[in-house]
Amino acid sequence: MARTTTRRSPSAGSGRRNAGTKGVPRADREEQIVEVATEVFGTQGFAATSVGDIAERAGISKPLIYNYFGSKEGLLRACLHRAIEILAGEFERIARGDAVGLERALRTLEGTFVLLERQPWIWRLFFDPTIPRGEQGIAAELALYTDRFTALAEEGVGEMMRLAGNEDPRDVSALTAVWMSVADSLVTWWLDHPDETPASMTARCVRLFQLVLGATLPPGTTAD
């Protein structure tokens, strides 16, 4: 009745004129926010990023983020959760494959390139030095995640080193760190050369492996 029309609140006082649902269900909105946040956290770092900035880029308001994620840390937690789902699954699939040694390394790189195409910053989340290292809260969770990576990488590296006759655990640890950093730097380099495709990156890696390691990779290793 009149009420419907009468409810013309827009003018009432200085109320929230742009309020009201836009018909986006919570799950969709959450995913959208997490996507934006992951990019910003991953490129600028957690400490240097403000929640307001994320809200603005996502085209929504700050309180909505707090409604859904509780806190800035909660938002980061959600980003990490999504990222680990994306990455670890793929890496574990590769690890379960039958490739070993250098070929396994190359396959991992190849998978990484395909996976991180257009969203390389996901990787950076796990190595953000600005995440508060307070012994409680997010630090433990983060360690859990990175350990999942590291264990996988360390398994591969350790395997290769065993074949070569070195089993020093500290050497394995150091070489694993180097290997993960190599993958990281290649993704970063790719970011600076956007015209490269996952396939061309893989081909480049094959060339560089052959050059640096003097290795002969089996045919068919290069993506189509």
User: Looking only at residues 161 through 220 of this chain, which bind a second copy when binding is defined by CB under 8 A?
Assistant: 161, 164, 166, 168, 170-171, 173-175, 177-178, 180-182, 184-186, 188-189, 193, 204, 207-208, 211-214
Count of residues of this chain found to bind a second copy when the rule CB under 8 A is applied? 37
Nearer Cβ to a second copy, position 43 or 71? Answer: 43
Residues contacting residue 118 through CB under 8 Å, at least 6 positions apart: none
In the numeric block, which tokens belong to residue 155? 């398994």
Tell me how far apart the alpha carbons of residues 165 and 179 are, in angstroms, rounded to a whole number. Answer: 18
Interface with DNA by CB under 7 A: which residues? 1, 3-4, 7, 9-10, 12-26, 29, 49-53, 59-64, 66-67, 70-73
Q: At what angle do helices 101-116 and 72-96 cross, to 10 degrees?
A: 140
- In the list DNA, a second copy, none, the entry touching 151 (Cβ below 5 to 8 angstroms by class) is none
Q: CA geometry: angle at 118 spanning 36 and 178, to 5°?
A: 100
Cα–Cα distances in Å, from 170 out to 143, 157, 165, 175?
Answer: 19, 12, 14, 8
Please report how close the Cβ of residue 123 comes to DNA at its closest, in angstroms.
22
Q: Minimum distance between the CB of residue 84 and a second copy, rounded to whole angstroms?
A: 21
The helices-and-strands tally (H runs, E runs) of the chain is 10, 0
Binding site for a second copy (CB under 8 A): 43-45, 47-48, 124, 128-130, 132, 161, 164, 166, 168, 170-171, 173-175, 177-178, 180-182, 184-186, 188-189, 193, 204, 207-208, 211-214
